[in-house]
Amino acid sequence: MAHLQVADEQYIFRPETRNKLFILLGVGVALFVLGLILAMRSGGHHEEAGHGEGHGMIKTENLVASTEKAAAGDQEEHHAAAAEAGEGHHTKGWKERLFSSLWMNNVFFTGLGIIGLFFVAIQYAAQAGWSAGVLRVPLAMGNWIPIAGILMIVLYFTTGHDIFHWTHHDLYDANSAEYDPLINKKAPFFFWPGHAGGFPIFYIFRMVLFFSMWYWFFTMIKKNMLAEDLENSTSYWYKNRVISTWFLIFFAVSSSIAAWDWVMSIDTHWFSTMFGWYVFASWWVTGLATITLICAFLKDAGYLKVVNSNHLHDLGKFVFAFSIFWTYIWFGQFLLIYYANIPEETVYFIERMTTSPYSWIFYATLILNFVLPFLLLMTRDAKRQLSTLKLVCPIVIVGHWFDFFQMVTPGVMQQNGGLGFLEIGLALVFLAVFLLVALSNLAKVPLVGKNHPMLQESLNHHI
Amino acid sequence: MDVNKNFLVGVFEDEDVLLAAVKKVRSGGVKIHEVYSPFPVHGLDEALGYKRTRLPIAAFLFGLTGTTLALTMQIWMLGYDWPMIIGGKNFVSLPPFIPVTFEMTVLLSALGMVATFMIVSDMKPYGSPRQFDLRSTEDKHVMAIDTDANGGKSKDEISRLLKEAGASEVNTKSFE
């Protein structure tokens, strides 16, 4: 193998790029404000529309009512009355819609940040050589972790009751009309060691622990990678391999629990043992598509000379394979619930498959996240060309944004959920800020770790 | 056909010598029949000027056959030939058919690929694969040149070219 020389590369975050992102941010804010005004004005009307949605909605109502009746035991009359009124517990208006959209976007973009770190850790733990040239891109995405963490905690305290049904203290009071024995049994998961219905100590502790540990692992790995640039020594690679291994063990547990905490607990009665992997699979393939897309745009701008079609091929294979993996997990969850046909489980899918506006999104996610990437990325040539990657990666990213929309919104909004300017605007705001953070951090460090011990292997990579 | 196929077989000790020899022989205007090596040699395919394999296309078509076969089979069996109520579902309902469909797709795709590869590489049952030099499975690289296909050049010329390119021995081999 030929020993190849690598020129130092530095990404320059040009004012033009920055301006484009600010325009994106501006468009996002404008759409968001427009959407918010529309949502506020049509608040009352929307609920009426909700009542007349048709059979699907009524079916859901009945199912919710029946499970709640069973759960509440002697409180049957109250719940039946509530179900007849057409609302579960609260009237859902623009405020819930705003909160649910904020929460959903933050969970989605948290994934992009943490997957950046996860990708780097995987490469070190697997002693992978091919990826040595692209590692700085996922590393830059990891800079989103602390911001996501702060947003998550702030949003929890701002939106609490409106998103998480389990935060209502009445649910845990046996003398209350709202008493719910099923949720009461789950109380220690949120409130330990405090009393049920009080401050969710265990829940907040986990949130803080996960983000601070992820951030700590991120800073350690980043520190070693940057130290390696200054000193040509393999010791940093060995250190990072050890840190990465510990991170992966921690992430295996924390990503699952994070998924239960931040997403599954919204539908408090419902549970799925696959949910942790499901959220992880969605995060992971979105993160891979984002890494690939950023690499593709950097290549277009003349950067990343060390990355050629062989490396793109590997990234494309990742996106292809994990699109199938997501589908496998999705189907694994769906088939069991479909077959067992237990009301408290099927309610989750019936709500998403038969009520507006979730119904079309439900089927659209399968096309966007499985059919299109599967067919478009199947051939070798498709994975090796920038043009096809730049087509498929946005499809996957948008598809999984819809996937997270489906996970969060129906649980918060029931049949009053909406997908309009508000949601799209907010997603654009998050996207613009995420890219501003990731790209400005990418510009602060050399684009290629020139002393990475595997760099020669990466340059000679040939598949 | 009782016409013998005649080959010149160059034996090489080292993969770098082999790689250079392939380029030299080809640029000398000699068509190489095939090269056998005990382990994969990087860059050999490009040096020999091989086109990429079309096996993935075969795999896709076999897979598609599997998908179609599995779906047709299940819809016909459970929907028309012997309808049964299972778990209160419709006779023809897609979700429970997916696992079988997936397995059939993978099975036919995999077996089809193996069969195609075997047939194309002359390893089919009752076939007689040509063995130019058994040492190519151990520690020697072997380059076979069809002398009939290189009518423009004499055996001696080709033999000299192989020796110049670094072959440790040059043998002749004929197949019926």
Q: What are phi and psi of A188, to 5 degrees?
A: -60, -30
Q: What is the DSSP string of A37-96?
A: HHHHHTHHHHHHHHHTS-HHHHHHHHHHHHHHHHHHGGGHHHHHHHHHTT-SSS---HHH
Q: How confident is the model at residue A53, as a pLDDT?
A: 40
Q: How many domains does one find in chain A?
A: 1
Tell whether A65 is covered by a domain.
yes
DSSP designation for B141: E
Q: Which residues of B touch A334 (CB under 8 A)?
A: 95
Q: Which fold does the domain B5-52+131-175 belong to in CATH?
A: Alpha-Beta Plaits (3.30.70)
Helix, strand or coil, per DSSP, at residue B11? strand
Res. B3 pLDDT band, cuts 50 70 90:
low
Q: What is the mean pLDDT of residues A408-434?
A: 92
Tell whether A180 is covered by a domain.
no
Q: How confident is the model at residue A12, as a pLDDT?
A: 93
Q: Which residues of B touch A379 (CB under 8 A)?
A: 56
Calculate the CA dihedral of residues B29, B35, B37, B40 and round it to 10 degrees.
Answer: 90
Instruction: Choose among B52, B60, B98: nearest Cβ to A331.
Output: B98
When the pLDDT of each residue in chain A is averaged and rounded to a whole number, the result is: 89
| In the predicted structure, residue A164 carries a pLDDT above the cut 70 | yes
The answer to whether A335 faces chain B, any CB pair under 8 Å, is: yes
Residue-range domain boundaries for chain B: 5-52+131-175, 55-120
Q: What is the extent of the structural domain holding A246? A: 15-164+200-459
Q: How confident is the model at residue B153, as a pLDDT?
A: 83
Global confidence as pTM: 0.88
CB A447 within 8 A of CB A303: yes
Tell whether A184 is covered by a domain.
no
The answer to whether B87 faces chain A, any CB pair under 8 Å, is: yes
In angstroms, rounded to a whole number, what is the distance separating the alpha carbons of residues A102 and A340? 34
| In the predicted structure, residue A459 carries a pLDDT above the cut 80 | yes
Q: How confident is the model at residue A76, as a pLDDT?
A: 41
Tell me the shortest Cα–Cα distance from A421 to chain B, in angstroms.
34
Tell me the shortest Cα–Cα distance from A331 to chain B, in angstroms.
8
> Which of A310, A329, A331 to probe by mutation at the B interface, max B CB count within 10 Å?
A331
CB contact under 8 A, A379 and B99: no
| In the predicted structure, residue A195 carries a pLDDT above the cut 80 | yes
DSSP designation for A345: H
| Chain centroid offset of residue B137 CA | 16
| In the predicted structure, residue B32 carries a pLDDT above the cut 60 | yes
CB contact under 8 A, A378 and B60: yes
Q: Which residues of A touch B87 (CB under 8 A)?
A: 339, 341
CB contact under 8 A, B98 and A380: no
Residue of B nearest to A334 (CA): B95
Structure tokens at A52: 């007349």
CB contact under 8 A, B42 and A335: no
Tell whether A437 is covered by a domain.
yes
Instruction: Choose among A334, A379, A462: nearest Cβ to B42.
Output: A462
Q: Which residues of A touch B88 (CB under 8 A)?
A: 341
A89-114 pLDDT, tens digit per residue, is 456 788 999 999 999 999 999 999 99
CB A220 within 8 A of CB A245: no
CB contact under 8 A, A335 and B99: yes
